[in-house]
Amino acid sequence: YTSTSVAGNETVTLADEIKKYKTEALIDFLRKEEDLGLDDDDFEIMCKRKIMGRDFLKMSKEEFEHCGLEMGPAKRLADFAKESEYGLDFDGIDSIPLFSPLTYEIQDSNKVFKRCMEEILGRLRSYGTLQPDSLEAMRNEYVVALLHASIYIVIDITDKELSMRPQYGIVGEESRGQVDFAIKEAEDLICITEDKQHKVPVGIAQNIKQLKNACETNKRKRKRGDDDFDYLYGIVTTGRDWHFLLYSPGKISKASDTAYSIEFIKKTLNPNSEEYQSLCKNVRKVLGIIMGLLKDRACAEEEPERKRVRIEGYRSKK
């Protein structure tokens, strides 16, 4: 059904294939996707409107409805179009090789960690338990608390010029778009974060595409030749679950087969509870990984070959 395979460790989206489809070929393809639940009436509308592959990939639910499709088929087609461009199937995720992330050990006494915990507990008092269907704005507050804390500590220990930009526009050679959070060291993009409520596979493939665009952006700014080499880190999170990626041109690695999880539940408001201890432990764990990634990339050598050797070392440890 879905869209991205990992072959030779380089992602190739189904979108590349769909873009080539004329209207008839697109309809033939969609007929085979039985779980979309489309019928002849739906296909007749698509045929009448002369929707081709390139159109299909960019269409929203509202645009499908404007064509004459009912709300259900319009919603399913819009979701499928998005997944076709960004989605990664579960076999694809499983086949991404591992890397060993550098981590930073955070002490309970760290002032920034204490402030981060106070922010998290304050939100739990206001919002209650973070649910899978909680509003994006609520999830973002937990994500931002961890990202800011990580950046503050890395600035303290490296004296580097780190900054975070929400809804940051990135232009690649083949596509452009906004990322949820971009972290920069001076003018260099070093980490891209994608906040995803559901469908983590879609978020991971979307993040890979964003990382590719960010790499191309860095290269343009440095005005280096073909011998240039760069790498960036990606974070895909639901607020509760955190996935970490290492990207270099043509190669992607993940930090773990399973997500690093933080349970934001109201029971943690009791400082004597096991839930509170678990919250502190898991926040420290995720903070330590984010900080390790940021510190590593912010302090990386400019020389392309040294960067290459550096990350191959992380990949070979797994």
pLDDT grade, residue 85 (50/70/90)?
low
Q: Are residues 80 and 183 in the same domain?
A: no
The confidence score (pLDDT) of residue 302 equals: 79
Q: Are residues 152 and 290 in the same domain?
A: yes
DSSP state of 180: E
Output the domain CATH number for residue 16: 1.10.150.50
- Asked whether the predicted pLDDT for residue 178 surpasses 90, the reply is no
The confidence score (pLDDT) of residue 13 equals: 59
Rounded mean pLDDT, 269-274: 96
Q: Are residues 104 and 75 in the same domain?
A: no
- Asked whether the predicted pLDDT for residue 87 surpasses 80, the reply is no
Q: Are residues 216 and 149 in the same domain?
A: yes
The confidence score (pLDDT) of residue 1 equals: 31
- Asked whether the predicted pLDDT for residue 12 surpasses 60, the reply is no
The confidence score (pLDDT) of residue 55 equals: 94
Among candidate residues 109, 117, 143, 111, the one with its CA nearest the CA of residue 276: 117
- Asked whether the predicted pLDDT for residue 158 surpasses 90, the reply is yes
The confidence score (pLDDT) of residue 2 equals: 35
CA distance 152 to 140: 18
Q: 47-64 burial, b if ≥16 CB within 10 A, otherwise e?
A: eebebbbebbbebebebb
Q: Are residues 144 and 156 in the same domain?
A: yes
Q: Are residues 246 and 298 in the same domain?
A: yes
- Asked whether the predicted pLDDT for residue 49 surpasses 70, the reply is yes
Give this prediction's pTM: 0.75
Q: Are residues 29 and 158 in the same domain?
A: no
pLDDT grade, residue 165 (50/70/90)?
very high
Alpha-carbon dihedral angle through residues 215, 234, 3, 42, given to the nearest 10 degrees: -100
Q: What's the mean per-residue pLDDT of the chain?
A: 87
The confidence score (pLDDT) of residue 7 equals: 36
Domain of 256 in residue numbering reads as 96-316
Residue type, 153: I
Q: Are residues 112 and 41 in the same domain?
A: no
Q: Are residues 105 and 80 in the same domain?
A: no
Rounded mean pLDDT, 210-232: 82
Which residue, 93, 123, 141, sits at the end of a domain?
93
Q: Are residues 113 and 28 in the same domain?
A: no
CA distance 135 to 130: 9
- Asked whether the predicted pLDDT for residue 133 surpasses 50, the reply is yes
Q: What's the domain count of the chain?
A: 2
pLDDT grade, residue 117 (50/70/90)?
very high
Q: Which two tokens stand for residue 265?
A: 């539940």
> Where is pLDDT greater, at 230 or 282?
282
Rounded mean pLDDT, 222-230: 72
Rounded mean pLDDT, 147-170: 94
The answer to which of 6-20, 56-70, 261-275 has the lowest mean pLDDT is: 6-20
Which residue, 58, 93, 128, sits at the end of a domain?
93
pLDDT grade, residue 198 (50/70/90)?
low
pLDDT grade, residue 88 (50/70/90)?
low
Which residue, 74, 93, 112, sits at the end of a domain?
93
What residue ranges in 197-302 does DSSP mark as E strands? 232-237, 241-248, 251-254, 260-261
Among candidate residues 98, 134, 140, 135, the one with its CA nearest the CA of residue 119: 140
Q: Are residues 252 and 298 in the same domain?
A: yes
Q: Are residues 108 and 140 in the same domain?
A: yes
